[in-house]
A and B are shown apart, each in its own frame.
Chain A
């Protein structure tokens, strides 16, 4: 169904492509399952799905090393899966159960993993940006070469604290990559209605922060941009801005009917620009994999996701005395 033009054969191994395929598919299937569990009333409150944006986080993670940190907004499930957090723990947090990453006390928007250097999961638009710069500050203070990825959306790009942070990150040369996931809608407000100039990657110019834009539906392009940004930060040259152009297929949250855009617009992105279909094409046309190989991966992913759903239903609700724990260290 996709009518994609593959410009040139990218120089990439079968193993690498299969890895991206697997990682992106896991996010998509996981999110579809989360949507289903929401529909069944097993997940409550706010639930923001990442479907459509998978190539962003998978491409960026491809250039990381152990010790690098990441922090993002409330649309965070994809980031957690991409950095290797356990789907069972993520899904069980969504259902508010004891087996969740935050013992059921955080929910969809508030999950963390010290082990995987994932610092949340933040529900206030833009707040994670200075926090991310602070994480980078801690690495610079300790004198290591770790890098922090601070993800935020085109909506958050209009928050004042983002620019306060750009300024300090630049004067203190903090090793932070500001990743603007531009999915073109700040909840229901199209970017052109909310943003004075369309090129968000230029927003660091006033602070002397280099930036570039990248096609967020092409995981290989995202990975290449990530490598460049990471090299800049690791070399001690200070912060870097990546504006990754992407698209979310679902509403802002589960209760958003998405009337601010046409069904045709969404369908066109799905048909022509889907990131997973893109890698699938590369795998098949490059003869890196057969339909059967990919079917086997689909099946494997489906099993992982189903297991996470089962785990999230079987895990008990937190004990009542958990109400009073973790308020003070």
Chain B
């Protein structure tokens, strides 16, 4: 049967073009792959190849014709023994096989599923024995427990093995698990992050330690494009069960390139989960959950918190679920929401405010993707005021996002605008006095609370 040759779309945006030149005449033999015409698109002149074989029966659009719409029949190709005139007469009607109309707006776009998160249950049973541990020890224990439980869990990163970790978080792991599972990498974040993600595709559960998250910017493409997006791009066939962990945010006097809080960056990316614990028990419980999670998890630690001591429950297997905030202290006058080291300022401020007769409820989000909106909203509906606290930059901060959410979901409950206490909008200075000024402070949190409570 005769085949119609249609005007091709030769760029993602082409709708019509000029048939600049025919390179074959009627009656010529055409083979697959042969260049038969030149077509001018909106961008360039392109060569047009034949797909099917046959004889050029009839040229329907003369060369030089402008404004030929895509999918218009431009010629008829004949098979052996066919006659041109008969073929034209019997040629099928102009092809209706065009792309489905993209503009066809569905009557109702499905809404994003809402994750229902319970905040009612305590993190461990009442009466559980507790012991005092540093955040550093809690993180090490979490990794060790999960490595004992699952052979496919391994740790890789700079100085994690023989040096026992640049911040001693992996102390003792090489001795217990050996060089196969505790692996020193060269200083090549982009490369070893890609290798870690590939190992996760291959069925392992890597923990990739960044000495600090500042260096993860070298690897951001592998984290976002390879780890976070593959499950979606593969239609659910394969994803990356991997944990990226390390120190995040400002340490002390290390200057601009080593002092950035990436919480808001990672929290923006679908496909990632993001945890940023404050206490040792949360560090342990959340890291164990992160290692078991089938998704890529960003686990943001803090150098200053590594040495801080907290109570940790003594349990065989203790985990904290993602998406469950912790209410550190209950209050009635204002809600202070924070996470990570920001909790230090939030809690100090609450203590001082209590002495002045202002009762603050302090919420630790613990994870930033997913976020436990329910706990925050319930608290704001009770206190009618909210202050957020974080060390990161002010523009497009986690606090900005919470403010928007509270405005949408609890506008009528608010008695004052939400205030976001953040780091300042400057690269981190080195000088001690300026660094202090660049970070969020307890005094700023107190001032913000007084502002929203009109004191």
List chain A positions with a Cβ less than 8 A from chain B. 28-29, 32-33, 35-36, 38-42, 44-46, 51, 69, 71, 100-106, 110-114, 119-124, 127, 129-139, 141-142, 160-161, 164-165, 167-168, 171, 249-251, 254-255, 257-259, 263, 270, 313, 317, 320-321, 323-329
Contacts and interface: CB of A to CB of B under 8 A. Distances in A.
A103 B237 CA distance: 10
Which 7 pairs across A and B sit closest by C-beta, in order of nearness? A134-B198, A130-B194, A39-B8, A164-B191, A138-B202, A255-B11, A329-B294
Of the candidates A114, A257, A270, the one having the most CB atoms from chain B within 10 angstroms of its own CB is: A257
Contacts of B236: 103, 325-326, 329
A251 B233 CA distance: 25
B339 to A, nearest CB: 20
B243 to A, nearest CB: 14
Contacts of B51: 32-33, 35-36
Contact of A41 (B9, B193, B235): B9
Of the candidates A40, A110, A250, the one having the most CB atoms from chain B within 10 angstroms of its own CB is: A40
Of the candidates B6, B45, B225, B235, the one having the most CB atoms from chain A within 10 angstroms of its own CB is: B235
A135 B201 contact: yes
Interface in B377-433: none
Interface of B: 6-12, 14, 32-33, 35, 41, 43-49, 51, 70-71, 95, 97-100, 106, 109-110, 112-113, 152, 154, 180, 185-186, 188, 190-204, 221-222, 225-226, 230-239, 241, 270-271, 273, 294-295
B295 A134 contact: no
B110 A41 contact: no
Nearest to B228: A327
B356 to A, nearest CB: 44
23 contacts: A38-B9, A40-B6, A40-B99, A41-B9, A42-B97, A112-B234, A112-B237, A127-B221, A131-B198, A134-B199, A134-B201, A134-B202, A135-B198, A138-B202, A165-B194, A167-B188, A259-B44, A263-B35, A270-B33, A323-B110, A327-B232, A329-B236, A329-B239
A32 B294 contact: no
User: Could you tell me the dominant secondary structure of chain B's interface residues?
Assistant: loop
Of the candidates B99, B106, B191, B198, the one having the most CB atoms from chain A within 10 angstroms of its own CB is: B198
Contacts of B12: 44-46, 254-255
B187 to A, nearest CB: 9
B271 A328 contact: yes
Contacts of A254: 10-12
Nearest to A102: B235
B46 A257 contact: yes
A124 B106 contact: no
Nearest to A134: B198
B99 A130 contact: no
Contacts of B113: 324
Contacts of A171: 186
A111 B201 CA distance: 14
A328 B231 contact: yes
Contacts of B14: 255
A124 B219 CA distance: 13
A257 B10 CA distance: 9
B3 to A, nearest CB: 10
Nearest to B370: A328
A272 B2 CA distance: 31
Nearest to B234: A112
B198 A133 contact: yes
A162 B424 CA distance: 38
A327 B185 contact: no
A167 B191 contact: yes
Contacts of B203: 138, 142
B202 to A, nearest CB: 3
Contacts of B35: 263
Of the candidates B188, B196, B232, B241, the one having the most CB atoms from chain A within 10 angstroms of its own CB is: B232
Given A102-B234, A131-B197, A327-B232, A40 B221 contact: no
Contacts of B106: 320
A112 B202 contact: no
Given A160-B190, A329-B295, A132 B198 contact: yes
Nearest to B44: A257
Of the candidates A110, A120, A171, A328, the one having the most CB atoms from chain B within 10 angstroms of its own CB is: A328
Given A104-B235, A130-B195, A168-B192, 4 more contacts: A41-B99, A119-B198, A134-B194, A326-B231
B257 to A, nearest CB: 19
Nearest to B98: A41
A312 B312 CA distance: 57
Given A32-B51, A106-B233, A130 B190 contact: yes
A327 B233 contact: no
B204 A39 contact: no
Contacts of A263: 35, 47
A321 B91 CA distance: 40
Contact of A313 (B97, B188, B225): B97
B237 A165 contact: no
A137 B190 contact: no
B190 A134 contact: no
B194 A133 contact: yes
Contacts of A124: 221, 225-226
B194 A32 contact: no
Given A320-B106, A321-B110, A42 B237 contact: no
Nearest to A317: B100
Contacts of A33: 51
Contact of A255 (B43, B48, B221, B238): B43
Nearest to A174: B195
B230 A137 contact: no
B191 to A, nearest CB: 3
A33 B202 CA distance: 33
B237 A122 contact: no
A135 B202 contact: yes
Contacts of B7: 39
